[in-house]
Chain A
Amino acid sequence: MHTYLMLSADSPSGDAAPVPGDPTKPSGASRGRRQFALAGEAGLRRRLIARDEQALVELIDVASPWLLGITQGMLSDADEAREVVLETFATAWDRIGSMGDEHEALLPWLMRIARNRAIDRLRRRRRFRLKLARAEAAGELPPDQVGAVEVNEAAQPGWHVHRSVHAALDALPPDQREAVRLAYFQGLTHSEIAARLGIPMGTVKTRLRLAFDKLRTALAPIKDWIA
């Protein structure tokens, strides 16, 4: 489990093809990741705007684990999560030139697109509650991925951000953390959370408001996802 670094870097086919005539371009996923880390996000963004297809491969390589993480957690469906991730990168590729705010980091932007699309899909699922209930009854609910940490994943770009966010979530009182998990990482609405937890909707709102206030403060120091 969680061997994505080895799989993507050591894949026989390789995720990143060499760029003919340009020896400075990476010829494999690991080289691509190294160069990405060195060049930083600004360089990657410039290359994406210049329609550098290799830059797109590199972006997908470093960002897709995070996007798959949030979308699979919300959708409980690997195929649908892949579709959302594909849509997210396609949107990013189409709109990178008009992204506008240069101070907004690429990964949060991608995560917001992916999360919104996943929520849109959830809202379209009229049978979502039924599916969730079935999964719950069968013990197939996705694990609490907010707490899933493995040391060998520290090489993944953005891992330190994940640790910081995880620490901020851990610092919340359990009832607030659970409300955030259901609202933010499962895509449930106030009324759905109230029904799930068997508490009044006003209590849900209060818990979420208090939790998000704390999280805003806790996440403020995070400036970059590239260590």
Chain B
Amino acid sequence: MTAHSWYIENRVAFVARSLEPGEERTFQDHLVRCDDCSREVVRLERELSWLPMGAAPVAPPPGFARQIAGEILDRPSRWRRYLPLAAAAALALVSVGVSLQARGEGRELRDRLASRESRLAALEDTLSVLRRANMVLQTQISMNGHQQGGLLIFQDAVSHRWGVIVHGLPPAPAGRMYQFWFITETGMVRSVEVTADPRRPAFMTLPMPGVAAPVMGAALTMEPMGDGGTNEPRGVTLAHVTF
């Protein structure tokens, strides 16, 4: 730590700028903290302010004042001088904003892409069941004695799955639901609920039921809602097919 006496001793040298560069920086740092030295430096600067006029004047070349004034006045305004910097800063801010937005949008796009890829994989998987099917069964769906659509079953022996298409079914009446069943040698096995939409077919890929008995066929019934998931159909059979 430099003693304060050093600063007092070197105040004039600081004003005259005859301190070494490192000493000058040390003194400048000190001035920030020391009011006494700051006041004294201002006073010394004032007292010695005329000293530079000890240098003899030098004649400027002809037209010097006009040239210098012209160069000063022709400069871009301070605002314009800083415009490129401001523009660069604004551009950087916009870039950051765009980048952040792009990152957000990128994340959303990645999610959407993942979802699409998942759906595409499911469709390819379903299509593979249809393409590999070694047997296709088709039957009509009847409701109240009238044909209401059809049931198609694609059996894939490789993946042991069925591709099932139900079309032409009206929405299930209130309190009712459509239920798909496997028919095995030992009885009916509940599969999935079929949601009917008259505008487009219902498409399902179903694994074979986890029972030892071989599957012999399938059935579509209309069951009462909330039947407790019984293992036997209680409602009306709409379609029935056996191998």
A165 close to B (CB within 8 Å): yes
Number of interface residues of B (CB under 8 A): 39
Excluding A158-B53, A187-B17, A189-B18, 10 further A-B contacts by CB distance (< 8 Å) are: A13-B63, A86-B68, A90-B71, A111-B53, A148-B56, A161-B53, A162-B57, A184-B18, A184-B52, A209-B13
Contact B68 A64 (CB under 8 A): yes
B13 and A216 within 8 A (CB): no
Q: Provide the A124-162 mask, 1 if CB < 8 A to any CB of B, else 0.
A: 000000000000000000000111110001001011011
A57–B65 CB distance below 8 A: yes
- The count of chain A contact residues (Cβ–Cβ below 8 Å) is 84
CB-CB < 8 A to B17: which residues of A? 115-116, 119, 187
- Picked from A85, A109, A123, the residue with its CB within 8 Å of the CB of B21 is A123
Total cross-chain contacts (CB, 8 A)? 181
- Name 13 A/B residue pairs within 8 A (Cβ), A-sorted: A17-B66, A58-B65, A61-B65, A69-B57, A93-B72, A115-B17, A146-B56, A166-B54, A189-B19, A209-B9, A209-B13, A212-B16, A215-B51
Residue in A closest to B46 when the chains form the complex, CB atoms: A104
> Which residues of chain A come closer than 8 Å to B48, judged between CB atoms?
212, 215-216, 219
Which residues of A come within 8 Å of B, CB atoms?
Answer: 1-5, 7-8, 11-17, 29, 53, 56-58, 60-61, 64-66, 68-70, 72-73, 81, 85-86, 89-90, 93-94, 104-105, 107-109, 111-112, 114-116, 119, 123, 145-149, 153, 156, 158-159, 161-162, 164-166, 168-169, 183-185, 187-191, 193, 205, 208-209, 212-213, 215-216, 219-220, 222, 225
Chain B residues in 8 Å Cβ range of A58: 65
Complex Cα–Cα for A153 and B64 (A): 18
Contacts of A11 in B (CB 8 A): 62-63
**A145 near B56 (CB under 8 angstroms)?**
yes
- Complex CA gap A46/B183 in Å reads 106
Main DSSP-derived SS at the A contact region: helix
10 smallest A-B Cβ distances: which pairs?
A4-B59, A65-B57, A108-B49, A148-B56, A111-B52, A60-B65, A68-B58, A165-B54, A11-B62, A15-B65
**B binding-site residues for A, Cβ under 8 Å:** 9, 12-13, 16-21, 44-66, 68-69, 71-73, 75, 78
B interface majority secondary structure:
helix
A169 touching B62, Cβ below 8 Å:
no
Contact among A2, A85, A119 for B59, CB-based, below 8 A = A2
- A66 with B20: CB separation less than 8 A: no
Determine if A65 and B60 form an interchain contact, defined as CB atoms under 8 angstroms apart: yes
Is there an interface contact between B50 and A219, defined as CB atoms closer than 8 Å? Answer: yes
B21: nearest chain-A partner, CB-CB: A123
Distance in angstroms between the alpha carbons of A193 and B47 in the assembled complex: 23
